[in-house]
Structure 1
Amino acid sequence: MTNTTGTDPHSSAHPAPPEPGVLQLGPLHPVLEEALASEFSALRLPEDPAEQDRFLARHAEQVRVAVGSGRTGVGTDLMRRLPRLEAVVHFGVGYDGTDAAEAAARGIVMSNTPDVLTDAVADTALALYLDVLRRFSAADRYVRDGLWESAGNFPLSRHASGRRVGVLGLGRIGRAVATRLEALGCEIHYHNRRPATGSGYAYHGSAAELAAAVEVLVVAVPGGPDSAGTVDAGVLAALGPEGFLVNVARGSVVDEPALVAALQEGRLGGAGLDVFADEPRVPAALRELDTVVLLPHVGSATVETRREMAELALRNLRSYLADGTLVTPVA
C-alpha cells in the first residue's frame, strides 16, 4: 500500500525525547566522560576560543546543565552566554572556576563532591608536612645525586612530632588534617570566619594571629574570590624564618610572589605545596629552592577517590535531571 501520510511507516509513533541539554567542560574522569556521552549525549565545549564562539552560537540555547571540574567551571563570560543554564555540576570539592556570585544572582544551582576526597587530601597535607620538616624529598635527591658518598651525611632536619600547627580552614578537610596531626602529638590551632562548635582547638581571630601562634600553617580553606590572597606577606612574616607553610587548598589563597620572596630571603623556613596560582605553571624560583616540596596538584589523585568523585558527580546530574534536586548542593 502506498503511504499517503508523508511519514516514514517504519518510524516510531512517538517523537524522540529532547536531549537533556548537558554540556561538558574540559577533560574529566573517564567514568564521568563515558556516562556523559552515552547516557546524556552531552555536548562538549571546544578548547579553542574561535571554535567556542561558533559552538556557542549554535548550541548555547540548548544547555541546561554544565559539568566541569573545580578549575574548569562556568566563568562569568561563559555563564552570560548560556541563557538557559540552570545548574553546574562540579567534579571536585572546589568550584572556584565558576562565578558563584553570578550563579546565585541568576538562580543557577551548583553541586560539588565533598567528603569523598577528604581523606586523600588530608593524607597529602600530612605527607607534605612530614616531607617539608624532615626534608625527605631533598634527602632522596641527595642520595640519587651521589652526594651521600661524595659529600658525607645529609644535613639535619626538623622534628615533626609535637609541633604547634595552625589549620587555616577547619572544614571537613581541615578537621581530617587536624586529626592526623593530633596523632603526632601536635597542638592544634585554627582560624575560621567564626569559631567551630565543639572543636576543642585554640581559635584565633585572623590568619595573621594564627600564623603568629604556630610553627607550621596548613592551608585548607575553599578557593575563590573570598579567600584570594588570605596568606599574604603579613601572614608569612608572622610565621617567620623558623616557620613552615603547607598548602592543599588553592594556589590563589597564597600571595605567591610574597611566598617566593620570603623563601628566597630566608624569612620563611620552607613550604610544602600541592597547588599554585597559575597551574600547571610553577615559578622557576620555587623549583630551584631545596626548602620547598612541590606536588602537581595531586591531593585527591588516587584511583579510589577520583572514581568516587565521578560517581557522585553523576548522581548529582541524574538527580537534577530527574527532579531538579542535587545530592550535594553547594550552600
Structure 2
Amino acid sequence: MASPKPNILVTRRLPETIEARMATLFETHVNEGDVTLTGDDIVEGLDGKDVLVCSITDRIDAELIARLPKSVRLIAQFGNGVDNIDIEAAWAAGLTVTNTPSVLTEDTADMAMMLMLALPRRLVEGTQMLVRDGVWAGWSPTSMLGHRLRGKALGIVGMGRIGTAVAQRAKAFGLNIHYFSRNRRPPGVEDPLEATYWHDLDAMIEAVDIISLHTPHTRETFHILSADRLKRMRPGSFVVNVSRPELVDEAAMLHEIECGHLSGAALDVFENRNGIDARLLALAEANKVVLTAHMASATLEARIEMGETVIVNIRAFMDGHQPPHRVLPESRHGRPSPA
C-alpha cells in the first residue's frame, strides 16, 4: 500500500499554480485568509501535520518551536532569509529547516539597480510632482537636476550570487565596481567586472559613492553599516539596501541624511515591526529616501520558482533524503561569511 501523502500547513497564500501542485502531492491546508497567523494559530493548525510551510512574516521562535506538535518534522521556509526562525532551537528540537535560495538572484539584482537609478535621478520626485500637483510648468534647463551614475564608485557589501549580478548590471551603466567580501572572488568573476577587492570594509566605505548591501543577516553582519561606518562614508554618497534591515543602523543612517552628510538612501527593506519610523517617512516625503514595499523578489516567476523549491525540499525530506536546501545553525557549519 502506498504511504499516505505528507500533511502540510501553508501559512500564507501562494501562487495558484503552486497551491494546485501542492494539493496534488500533499494533504495541503492553506491559510485562506492570507493574514499573519499567531503562534497559537500555527500550533493549532499543525495538529497532526508533518510540515510547516512558513514565510518571513511568521515568527518561529524558540517558544513556539517548543510548543509544536510532535508530528512536525520539517519547517520549509518559503523564502531565502530565515531571520524569522530560531535555527538553533529547531536543530535542538530535531527539526529540519529548509529555504529557497538562488531563485531570487536576477529579480533582486534588478530591484537594486532600479533603486540605484531612482534616487540620484529623482525618479519618484519627478513622478509625484506631476501626479500629486497636477500642474507642470514645463521643461527648463535647471529643473529636476539629478546626478549621473557613470563614473561613480559602487561599493558592494557581499559579492555572492546577488552581489555579482548587481555588479554586472552596474558595470553596464558605467559604474566602477568595488566590493568587500570575506573571500576574494576568482579572476573569472573579477576581471570582466574590472572589480576592486577590499579586505577592509572601513577603507572601501571611504572610497565609494554608493554602498549596496547584499549579505545575509547573521550575528556578524548585524549593523554591518554601523553609525561609525555611516560617518565614514563620503559626503553626498548614499545607501542601497534590498537585503535585510538589520544590516543598517537605521537611526544613525537617518541622522546622517538629516544632517546632510549623506545624500539619501534607497531602501526595499527597513525597520517596521512597530510601524515605519516617522523620521524615515519624513525623509521620503522630502525625497531624500526612496522606499519600496519589500518588492525585490516580487515577480510571479520568482514566487513560482520559490514554491517549486519548497516542494522539492518537502519531497526529498519525506522520501528520506537530505533536502537540497537545508539550513544549519551557525555553530554547525562554522561562522558564516559576513559577505
Offset from partner CA, 1:70-107 (integer Å, 9 cap, x none):
44363222222224543321212211111122234445
Q: Does 2:282 match 1:277?
A: no
Equivalent residues of 1:95, 1:224 under 8 A apart = no
User: In 1, Cα distance between the equivalents of 2:161 and 2:273?
Assistant: 24
Matching of residues 171-320 of structure 1 within 5 Å: 171-198=160-187, 199-200=189-190, 201-278=195-272, 281-289=275-283, 290-320=287-317
Q: How high is the TM-score relative to the length of structure 1?
A: 0.84
Structure 1: unaligned runs, 5 residues or longer: 1-13
Offset from partner CA, 1:47-90 (integer Å, 9 cap, x none):
5648438717xx55x34322112443632222222245433212
Q: Which residue of 2 aligns with 1:111?
A: 98
Could you say what the CA RMSD is over the residues aligned between the two structures, in angstroms?
Answer: 2.8
Q: Which residue of 1 aligns with 2:116?
A: 129
Q: Which residue of 1 aligns with 2:320?
A: 323
| Structure 1 letter corresponding to 2:137 | E
Q: Which residue of 2 aligns with 1:142?
A: 129
Structure 1 stretch displaced more, 62-71 or 145-154? 145-154
Q: Secondary structure at the match of 1:217?
A: strand
Equivalent residues of 1:22, 1:63 under 8 A apart = yes
Determine which of 40, 45, 55 is the counterpart of 1:69: 55
Greater Cα radius of gyration, structure 1 or 2: 1
Q: Secondary structure at the match of 2:211?
A: strand
Offset from partner CA, 1:123-173 (integer Å, 9 cap, x none):
000000011121111122223324641896533211111211011111110
Identity percentage of aligned residues: 31
User: In 1, Cα distance between the equivalents of 2:96 and 2:310?
Assistant: 14
| Cα distance change on mapping 1:53 and 1:162 into 2, 3 Å | closer
Equivalent residues of 2:7, 2:49 under 8 A apart = yes
Equivalent residues of 1:71, 1:95 under 8 A apart = no
Structure 1 stretch displaced more, 228-237 or 192-201? 192-201
Q: How high is the TM-score relative to the length of structure 2?
A: 0.82
| Cα distance change on mapping 1:193 and 1:317 into 2, 3 Å | same
User: In 1, Cα distance between the equivalents of 2:158 and 2:135?
Assistant: 40
| Cα distance change on mapping 1:48 and 1:101 into 2, 3 Å | closer
| Cα distance change on mapping 1:209 and 1:86 into 2, 3 Å | farther
Count of residue correspondences: 314
Determine which of 131, 136, 156 is the counterpart of 1:167: 156
